[in-house]
């Protein structure tokens, strides 16, 4: 696992939060994207070397809708950049982590992604992501 690739924040309204984070960072998101399979609409901000992903649910079954219902808005996941996501999934499985999707899926921002169950990681949802070449 390499550097933190981004931090994901669950929000109720992407439009409102885009304006808020635009004020915070002094610039607009560089990208907005819907990931239909995940039931999310996302936007991405770069601030220096750091990337922030905002996530809004597109339907009530979305993991983001469920997260906000349970915990409210806030930090939803931390994503780590990995060189070889398949290798990393196998390594973490061997270490006893519960991988939510053992077959990486296409996430936002041109990434292959997999998630670790937060029950095994002190309550923090961990995303592994590998840039699609
Ligand atoms: Zn993410």
- Kindly report the number of other CB atoms within 10 A of residue 131's CB atom: 13
Cα–ligand 1 centroid distance for 44 (angstroms): 10
% of the chain residues with pLDDT over 90: 91
Q: Report residues near ion ligand 1: CB below 5 Å.
A: 8, 53, 79, 127
Ligand 1 centroid, distance to 54 Cα (angstroms) = 8
Cα 13 to Cα 4: distance, rounded to the nearest angstrom? 25
> What spacing in Å lies between the alpha carbon of 49 and ligand 1's midpoint?
16
Quick one: tokens of 62?
């979305």
- List, as one string, the DSSP characters of 39-51: TEEEEEEEETTEE
Work out the mean pLDDT of the chain and round it to a whole number. 95
- 117 Cα: distance to centroid of ligand 1 (angstroms): 14
Q: Residues in the chain, how many?
A: 133
78 Cα–ligand 1 center, Å: 7
Would you state the structure tokens that stand for residue 102, as one six-digit string? 């053992």
pLDDT at 36: 86
Give me the pLDDT at residue 87, please: 97
Instruction: Give residue 40 CA to ligand 1 midpoint distance, Å.
Output: 11
DSSP 119: G
Res 37: pLDDT: 83
Please write the tens of the pLDDT for every residue from 21-33: 999 999 999 999 9
In angstroms, what CA-CA distances link 97 with 1, 5, 101, 121? 14, 20, 12, 8
- What are residue 21's DSSP bridge partners? none
Q: Which residue has the tokens 């930090």?
A: 75
pTM of the predicted model over 0.85: yes
CA of 127 to the centre of ligand 1 (A): 6
Q: Max Cα separation, the chain?
A: 44
pLDDT in tens, 60-94: 999 999 999 999 999 999 999 999 999 999 999 99
**Predicted local confidence at residue 133, as pLDDT:** 83
115 CA to centre of ligand 1 in angstroms: 9
Please name every residue paired with 11 in a beta bridge, in sequence order, or none if there are none: none
């Amino acid at each position: 696992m390499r550097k933190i690739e981004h931090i994901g924040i669950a929000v109720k309204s992407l439009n409102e939060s885009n304006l808020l984070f635009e004020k915070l960072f002094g610039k607009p998101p560089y990208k907005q994207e819907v990931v239909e399979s995940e039931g999310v609409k996302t936007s991405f901000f770069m601030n220096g070397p750091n990337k922030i992903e905002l996530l809004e649910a597109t339907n009530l079954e979305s993991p983001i809708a469920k997260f906000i219902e349970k915990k409210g808005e806030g930090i939803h996941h931390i994503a780590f950049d990995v060189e070889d996501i398949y290798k990393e999934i196998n390594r973490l499985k061997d270490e006893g982590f519960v991988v939510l999707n053992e077959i990486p899926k296409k996430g936002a921002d041109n990434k292959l992604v997999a998630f670790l169950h937060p029950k095994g990681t002190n309550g923090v949802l961990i995303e592994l992501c590998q840039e699609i070449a």
